[in-house]
Structure 1
Amino acid sequence: MIDQDEREVFRRHGAEGVLLLGGGAAILLQLADPRVARGVAEHSGFRERPLDRLLGTLDYVYAVGFGDDELVADAVRAVNARHAPVRAHADDARPAYSAFDADAQRWVASTLLGVAIVLHERIYGPLDEPTADAVVRGYAPVGFRLQASREGWPDTRAEFDTWWSERLARLEVGGEARSVARTLLSHSPALPFGTAALLPPVRLITASLLPPDVRAAYGFRWTPRAQRVVDGWFLGISAVWPLLPRAVRHAPMRASLRRARRRSRYAGHEPRGRR
């Protein structure tokens, strides 16, 4: 159980908008679990509405991390409603999947944590042990607010690192994962005008945050020059980001919570039969 002091440690970490740079890597790691990849490929709106799906995930994570009890409950109901039809039996080539699979939900939550720690330490330097342990425990509700439980979630950074290494070794990037990844990281008519210019740096940062084996399985070509470019970008970000006003650094979190509160107020006034 996380206490109030640890909650504040986690919130100081989780409120930093720079962590959104890891969103693409976290999604690709999630898809490297064949259960998740099949569910996303067959039921997600990534291809038609990529930003809607990304914002939905973001709003859930911020609501659980920073919202009050009512906001958390609303976010959980919304996610469970979207997940209800996401299930299928195994076939000859693909595993069964269900969006209510507790282990798969735990894996999704762990990818957010694993990538966030890498990014935090690239921007701010190594986390000390008590802070890292608090951050690990702080991510647990992302999974257990749905169907995953606290059982099996690491209690310390050391436990997480061991568990994470074991899970990474079992990943399998299949055709469905690569197909969704191409949609996510390629220019699409569904993306807002002007975003094409952002995709090359997004692809490069995303690739840099993946473990080498996973990166290669997705078909990223990684060279010493690419590594130098990314290292230079992170050096610049780490010099500038901590100097920005908190209002700027925390802007994505505040915008997400405003969206969630507006939806919550609107839902609270809907006729019961329309919920």
Structure 2
Amino acid sequence: MVRGLADIGAESVLLAGAGRAILLQIADPAVGHGVAEHSNFAERPLDRLRATMTYVYAVVYGSEEQLAAVRRAVNRAHAPVRREADAASAGYNAFDEQSQLWVVATLYDTAVTVYEKIHGTLDDDAADRIYRDYAQIGTALQLPAELWPADRAAFAQYWDARVQRLAPDAAARRVARDLLEPAGGPILWRLSMPLARFLTAGLLPEHLRAGFGLPWGHRHMRRFERTMRVLAAVYPRLPQKIRHWPKNHYLGQLVMADEIAPKATPRRGRP
């Protein structure tokens, strides 16, 4: 039974939407220009995914010490990501509340989109609890709680309006190429990219798929639908140890850190 984010957040199948979430994020220039100028997907393609997932897992499942350590790491990484508006840029700031809201919104919408394709539509009570829980992903940093839309209906209005305004620019397209067509990185990562590009394209809204130059047609759609049906049939039958491996791996790395391991304590009130 799904009672909240903690019941779905560890599912590794949600990582199938990682490319979608990142491309949605960088399609907003306030996020995309910061990523373009301060991240290096070409040489370190896994860094953003690792940092994001470690943070999310720490918020949902970690101890107070783990969350504090990850929060410090995220804030250190965000500190230099700022630029005043000028002729070449509209400016950006990683601590900007609206940018943080958008990033969390992409994580929430992508997770629910992928989960429901594999496990079926969530009932209203579970969907409401998951939605409320997701606010913590932002409020654990600098997002004021009142900025998170009040309920799923309010979120849908916010989401639809934001997505319709998105138009990937040259900087966003360059980051997307570095991410989805890597020239370097671990061999297994590069071998996974054809599937990652395909899933990313299939999960994106149509105008963003076109905006990022991702090929798509009826043949792609039929193949995508078949892929989702196969995943829906196979993935839920996998052992939990396999399904939850990324969460256990990333939190395990945190536990091994000297500043955390000696005194890790459970947090109260986790979802």
State whether TM-score is above 0.5.
yes
Aligned-pair CA distance for 1:219: 0.7
- Quote the residue 1:208 is aligned against: 202
How far apart in 1 are the matches of 2:116 and 2:246? 20
Contact 2:28-2:166 at 8 Å conserved across structures? yes
One-letter amino acid matched to 2:34: G
Q: Following superposition of structure 1 onto structure 2, how do residues 232-271 of structure 1 map, counting pairs within 5 Å?
A: 232-263=226-257, 265=259
Aligned-pair CA distance for 1:259: 1.3
1:122-170 superposed Cα distances (whole Å, 9 cap, x missing partner): 0011111111111111111111111111112123322222211111112
- Which of 10, 18, 24 lines up with 1:15 in the alignment? 10
Contact 2:254-2:260 at 8 Å conserved across structures? no
Distance 1:9 1:179, change over 3 A: same
- Say which is worse superposed, 130-139 or 153-162, in terms of deviation: 153-162
TM-score normalised by L of structure 1: 0.91
- Quote the residue 2:91 is aligned against: 96
- Quote the residue 1:85 is aligned against: 80
Aligned-pair CA distance for 1:114: 0.8
One-letter amino acid matched to 2:213: G
- Quote the residue 2:217 is aligned against: 223
**Is residue 2:46 matched to residue 1:51?**
yes
Distance 1:264 1:210, change over 3 A: farther
- The ranges of structure 1 where at least 4 consecutive aligned residues each deviate by more than 6 angstroms after the TM superposition are 266-269
- Quote the residue 1:273 is aligned against: none
One-letter amino acid matched to 2:162: R
1:206-243 superposed Cα distances (whole Å, 9 cap, x missing partner): 01111111111101121000011111111000001111
- Which of 158, 161, 164 lines up with 1:166 in the alignment? 161
One-letter amino acid matched to 1:261: V
Q: What percent of counterpart residues are identical? A: 44
How far apart in 2 are the matches of 1:60 and 1:117? 18
How far apart in 2 are the matches of 1:262 and 1:237? 33
How far apart in 1 are the matches of 2:22 and 2:258? 26
Q: Following superposition of structure 1 onto structure 2, how do residues 71-150 of structure 1 map, counting pairs within 5 Å?
A: 71-150=66-145
- Quote the residue 2:266 is aligned against: none
How far apart in 2 are the matches of 1:52 and 1:96? 23
How far apart in 2 are the matches of 1:172 and 1:152? 23
Count of matched residue positions in the alignment of Structure 1 and Structure 2: 263
How far apart in 2 are the matches of 1:108 and 1:194? 27
- Quote the residue 1:69 is aligned against: 64
Contact 2:30-2:90 at 8 Å conserved across structures? yes
How far apart in 2 are the matches of 1:264 and 1:158? 44
Tell me: higher relative CO, structure 1 or 2? Use CA pairs within 8 A at least 6 residues apart.
Answer: 2
**Is residue 2:29 matched to residue 1:34?**
yes
Aligned-pair CA distance for 1:23: 0.4
One-letter amino acid matched to 1:197: L
One-letter amino acid matched to 2:249: A
CA RMSD, 1 decimal: 1.9
